[in-house]
Chains A and B, each alone.
Chain A
Amino acid sequence: MNETKIMLGNEAIARGAYEAGVKVSAAYPGTPSTEISENVVKYPEIYCEWSPNEKVAMEVAIGASISGVRSMASMKHVGVNVASDPLYTISYGGVNGGLVLVAADDPGLYSSQNEQDTRCVARAAMVPVLEPSDSQEAKDFVKYAFTLSEKYDTPIIVRTTTRLAHSQGPVTMEERIVPEDKAYVRNPAKFVMMPGNAKGRHVFVEKRLKDMAADACEMPINRVEMNDTKIGFITSGIAYQYVKEACPNASVLKLGLVHPLPRKLIEDFASKVDTLYIFEELEPVFEEQIKSWGINCIGKEIFTVQGEYSANMIRKTILKEEVDGKAAAAVPARPPILCPGCPHRSVYSVLNKLKIHAAGDIGCYTLGAVAPLSVVDTTVCMGASISTLHGMEKAKGKEYIKNWVAVIGDSTFMHTGVNSLMNMVYNQGTGTVMILDNSTTGMTGHQDHAATGKTLMGETVPAIDIPNLCRAMGIKNVVEVNAFDIVTLEKVIKEEVAKDEVSVIITKSPCVLLKGNKFTTKCKPVEDKCKKCGACLRPGCPALTKKADGTIAIDATMCNGCGLCMQLCKFGAIEKVEA
């Protein structure tokens, strides 16, 4: 008997890639997709890498596919935007070896800047989409996606959501079967997408989707579960589980292929049930198509386009059941915060003191937007800090940005920030860019990148030297400062923002959660010296609390001994002791 293991959705996707014989996998980390690559790397048969951004990752996978092997790229939903340029065009070109893009959506915004639905991107790019509903299907659908990719000559998107990616359930293991590499045959009409060739491929793509839509009525991943016909649901993915939980006796059409839709199967199912509900998280992608065919159904009239769904939602709206449980207690919110000892807190405490605004970026340091640090004014997307600051300068003039900086992390700088910095140099900006270099991709759980000197597969490689990269662009003012040296930092920031030239300040201090970090000291209040001024509390370190008498306590189990509070105390009321 085959072994069954309990697996995270993302772990199951990696297993599916392994069993499908994937040879190349490329990704950029992003919640909720990161653990896919972190599990792919456990299979030495697969070459896998962290690429600097999703566009590059997609192109690496495309190259591997063209050469004739099965390949996979994985990323979060907003990463698909970055990768959309190659995606839209390889949809025309098609594949040689099977090509799968795993796109992880985030309904409920657990860790994202928007709530976009990848199915909308896929419809525009004319790429088919599969959507699994548990860990077992996550594995099975990835394997099936490769079969479909090669059969229909198309890249396939496997769409997951946070709830699926980060839920665990049982998965039955199977053997890895590696199909023979496809021969590479030069074929410019297919893989050189210049206008003359692309015109022909567009015709092919439209036919491909029509063929798939017809065949989809017979695909085993589109499944009708006929039960009581009073209520019928058309649903997919994790939403299917909520239907089964709340209405185990209802009839269900569970879609595994969510684009293109099996019209005949849907029409047939709709004709057999009295009331048809479309239960899909986020956008009304099924609903709008189904309604356009003249089928009566209920969807976003009663279900939201925002956030995650649940079984209770069905119990309340359709079954009109009273859901058990009292109202939630009114309690203080506990939003995410920078860790005790985080170098970003130190940098932000200085910017806050200097009343400098920051054009922000994507990473832990986005948390500098909230009180008490309140430094970050804007966050749009990966790499946008530098370019938005440049836009402000061009709109309002260089004096306007004398109390502004751009802040960006090392991994985000390598992702797309570097392009924005090139633009600032080229188009004669004078902005000050702070690269908060904590030697890792922090927010997603510590992945290496091109400037850390380590690869996903654990090899030691030359690290791209960020200061010299900036100098190579022609930037004269490149200053490196220890993030915890707040005296030097304050002086350097004042000097650099005053200059009429581009400046880069690199604050170098490793993420406090990085493995191998040793904390040998802790901060401790000195009795009787505290003047209750509250200066140490200002940066909002969670290890510090104000006691009833106004003096402070430091939680020794949380403190990492960074010494920021000690530097801020003018009365010597905090000292460092051995941990």
Chain B
Amino acid sequence: MKETKNIMIVGVGGQGTLLTSRILGGITVAAGYDVKLSEVHGMAQRGGSVVTFVRYGEKVAEPIVEEGQADVLIAFERLEALRYAHFLKKDGVIVVNDHRIDPITVVTGMAEYPDNIIENLEKEHKVLKVKAMEEALKLGNSKVFNIIVLGVAAKHMDFSKEAWLEVIEKTVPPKTVEINKQAFLLGFEG
């Protein structure tokens, strides 16, 4: 692989972008790549718009993905997919959780939540949508929705199912290994 791969994970603070980026980081290291991740901690995490970057390849310098460079945009919420869509390369892929969380600006009536986000994104990009929240509730834990979304995104990366399951086992809290594996497979094989 000559070119560095650029992946972004975007969502709302508290949705588990950090855990997801750590699984991604883990699998790229296991595959022998140089990797850099960049995360958001602190105030921005409190229900704000958050973005983490994962870059891997032979040699990676900067830890951030810039406008027009992302190969895969993993979005845990529709509005956040739209907010960061301009970071995608022309042939980049969006994997979006078909879920709505109103920002405070919408709750207070200062702004309107845009209609038809996914339909509009589909006009310009390849979009894979997944109703991960509903699927996760069926598994019995709404929190694992992010791993379902990761499973869908993983179809667009070059790592084996076994490698993913191994790194999930190493990264998530021990008590949640099984449900996270189930969630991943639901996305990956679904």
A190 part of interface (Cβ distance < 8 Å): no
A327–B41 CB distance below 8 A: no
Give CA–CA (A35, B35) in the complex, Å.
20
B63–A332 CB distance below 8 A: no
Query: Could you say which interface size class chain B belongs to?
Result: 35 or more
Which of A248, A329, A334, A336 interacts with B86 by CB under 8 Å?
A: A329
Residues of B within 8 A of A238 (CB): 62-63
In the complex, which residues 26-47 of chain A have their Cβ closer than 8 Å to any Cβ of chain B?
Answer: 31-32, 34-35
Give CA–CA (A544, B104) in the complex, Å.
10
B83–A329 CB distance below 8 A: yes
Which of B38, B45, B83 interacts with A167 by CB under 8 Å?
A: B38
A168–B48 CB distance below 8 A: no
Residues of B within 8 A of A8 (CB): 39
B101 part of interface (Cβ distance < 8 Å): yes
Given the interface pairs A331-B83, A333-B105, the reply to whether A34 lies near B64 with Cβ below 8 Å is no
Query: CB-nearest residue of chain A relative to B33?
Result: A170
Residues of B within 8 A of A121 (CB): none
A325–B68 CB distance below 8 A: yes
In the complex, which residues 317-352 of chain A have their Cβ closer than 8 Å to any Cβ of chain B?
Answer: 323-329, 331-339
For A, the interface residue count at a CB cutoff of 8 angstroms equals: 57
B35–A169 CB distance below 8 A: yes
A445 part of interface (Cβ distance < 8 Å): yes
Interface of A is mostly: loop
B156 part of interface (Cβ distance < 8 Å): no
B40 part of interface (Cβ distance < 8 Å): yes
Given the interface pairs A166-B40, A329-B85, the reply to whether A334 lies near B105 with Cβ below 8 Å is yes
| Sample (19) of A-B pairs whose CB atoms are under 8 Å apart | A110-B42, A111-B41, A111-B42, A163-B38, A168-B36, A241-B61, A248-B61, A325-B69, A325-B87, A326-B68, A329-B82, A332-B103, A334-B105, A367-B46, A372-B104, A372-B107, A443-B46, A542-B47, A557-B142
**Residues of B participating in the A interface, judged by any CB pair closer than 8 Å:** 12-14, 25-26, 29, 34-49, 60-64, 66-69, 79-80, 82-83, 85-90, 101-108, 110-114, 133, 137, 142
12 other contacts beyond A168-B25, A537-B107, with CB at 8 A cut-off? A34-B41, A111-B41, A111-B42, A111-B44, A168-B63, A324-B89, A332-B111, A334-B79, A334-B104, A371-B104, A372-B104, A540-B104
Pairs of residues from A and B, 9 with the lowest C-beta to C-beta distance, nearest first: A325-B68, A324-B68, A31-B42, A111-B42, A332-B111, A336-B48, A334-B103, A325-B67, A167-B63
**Residues of A participating in the B interface, judged by any CB pair closer than 8 Å:** 6, 8, 31-32, 34-35, 110-111, 134, 163, 166-170, 238, 241-242, 244-245, 248, 310-312, 323-329, 331-339, 364, 367, 370-372, 443-445, 537, 540, 542, 544-546, 555, 557-558
